[in-house]
Every structure is written in structure tokens, then in C-alpha cells.
Amino acid sequence: MASLIPCPHCGIRPKEEFSIRGSASPVRPAAGASDDAWNAYVFLRDNNKGRIVEHWHHTAGCRRWLIVERDNAASHEVYSVTDAAAAAGEVLE
């Protein structure tokens, strides 16, 4: 059975239309943060198992950035999909 992602703009689409772009959990350091803080932000990532939040790009559809909350262990269930711009409080076109 194919994995399906409910895009808030295009409806339910196959996962092959999307590109996973990494965790949406890290918090960007302040501009004046130390080199160690920036190194940790850029290069050090936890490899959590279970319910995770990631940035996904709908490359073969609306080309919007999305925040996808899903299970990466056993079920691969998608719990929620949110437009990244809306989540950041930006005005959508």
C-alpha cells in the first residue's frame, strides 16, 4: 500500500511527490551566538525513533513547504500536515 500525504493545498497525494528536508525541531541560534551553538545547530542532530516533526517540500505539486508530523518507526502514520508559512505566521498568497 502506498503512503499518502494529505497536502493542505492539493489534497491527498502519494509520498513520492514530496521531498523530506529534515527535522523541523531545531531552534536557530541568535545571530550573535557562539561558534559552538552554530556548530550544534548545523551539524548535530538527534536520530529519534517514533513520532517526529519534519520539513517536507511538495516538489511535484504545489511546491509549498510543509511541516509533517509522522511516525518514522513502525506504522509511518501521518498525524498532521501544516503549511510551513502559516505555521510561521506569514501571510499566504
Please name the fold of domain 18-25+40-93.
Folate-binding fold (3.30.2270)
Domain ranges of the chain: 18-25+40-93
Instruction: Measure Cα distances from 64 to 17, 23, 24, 30 in Å.
Output: 12, 16, 15, 26
Cell of 53: 516533526
Q: Which of 10, 8, 20 is nearest to 76 (CA)?
A: 20
pLDDT of res. 38: 94
If the chain, 93 residues long, is cut into consecutive pieces of 10 residues, what is the mean pLDDT of each piece? Answer: 85 95 88 95 86 95 96 90 85 51
